[in-house]
Amino acid sequence: MHYTGNIIRPPSEANSIILQVTHGCSHNKCTFCGTYKGVLFQLKDARLIDEDLAFAARYCLRQKRVFLADGDVLVLPQKKLVDLFRKIRDKLPWVNRISLYGNEKAIRKKNLPDFLELKGLGLDRVFMGVESGHNPTLRFIQKGADAEAMIKAGRKVRDAGLFLSVTVLLGIGGVKNSQSHAEATAHVLSAMGPNQIGVLTLMLLPNTRLFKQQATGEFTLPDPAMLLMELRTMVDMIQVDRVQFQSNHASNYLPINARLPKDREKILESIESALAGAVQLVPEHARAL
């Protein structure tokens, strides 16, 4: 397979065929993200994609899922996506699920019939980075969308009958907006009604603007106790019929894998135990992105 740069994929796609279609991010302005700094967003050469499909057709016969990398495949024009999905169906007929990342801008540019067309060709789930539902925080981190736009994008994916997996970031509101960020994020998640919520904890990277803002005092990262209180607020306030709720990413201090609302009390008890020091948190050296 022809891979360029660091391949980013959701943890749940670890056993999928990773087909890199684009390189970089079309937005690439988020102040906390250092993944694609200095990288020009571009579509990979069609010849290389065809060669990778031929490789998968020969060597990936047991893998029934495909994840389209990198960070922003959904932003491609509908015709290019349809052609790609048809190639996957033709070359890898045993594949039963195609997944990809989709930011708010990319989702906004697709209409419901577009999503239904892609679903008919194998699209099963969309991974969306929400980060926060707090508008001042979204502006501060230059996310490129407000809370209302996030909700509309999430609902569009759900209305198409697709699996929606969203990620949020503990700590992204800083000390100043810690609880406001948690409360507003819970509201946005409740309004979206995703199938899966993945919670990550902010880790400041030296090549990001947010790292520099921490150094100058413009931003202050909450301590572990405050981060746990954010998590508690989100768990307590999210109102959905059913959602898989996970904070088992390596960046988190307290791993959780449960369902809301069924396991709400159990999760809250675990968080309270951690705040009281009765549950050991993941040590700093073991945390990673």
Q: How does the average pLDDT of the chain come out, rounded?
A: 96
The pTM assigned to this predicted structure is 0.95
CATH number of the domain bearing residue 170: 3.20.20.70
Q: How large is the average pLDDT for residues 238-247?
A: 97
The answer to whether residue 244 sits within a structural domain is yes
Q: pLDDT tens digits for 46-103?
A: 999 999 999 999 999 999 999 999 878 999 999 999 999 999 999 999 999 999 999 9
Cβ 231 vs Cβ 179: under 8 Å = no
Q: Is residue 197 part of a domain?
A: yes
Residue 288 belongs to some domain of the structure? no
pLDDT, one tens digit per residue, over 103-146 is: 999 999 999 999 999 999 999 999 999 999 999 999 999 999 99
What's the domain range around 67? 11-282
Report the percentage of the chain scoring pLDDT > 90.
92
Residue 5 has pLDDT above 90, yes or no: no
- Whether 1 maps to a domain, the answer reads no
What single letter denotes the amino acid at residue 158? Answer: R
- Is residue 29 predicted with pLDDT exceeding 90? yes
Residue 5 lies in a domain: no
287 inside domain:
no
Helical spans, DSSP H, in 112-252 = 112-120, 135-140, 147-159, 178-192, 209-216, 224-237
CA separation for the pair 13, 255 (Å, rounded): 19
Sign, CA dihedral 110-114-118-123, equals positive
Residue 17 lies inside a defined structural domain of this protein: yes
Residue 21 placed within a domain? yes
Instruction: Place 8 in a pLDDT band, splitting at 50, 70 and 90.
Output: confident
What pLDDT does residue 33 have?
94
For residue 41, the 8-state DSSP code is -
Domain count, the chain: 1
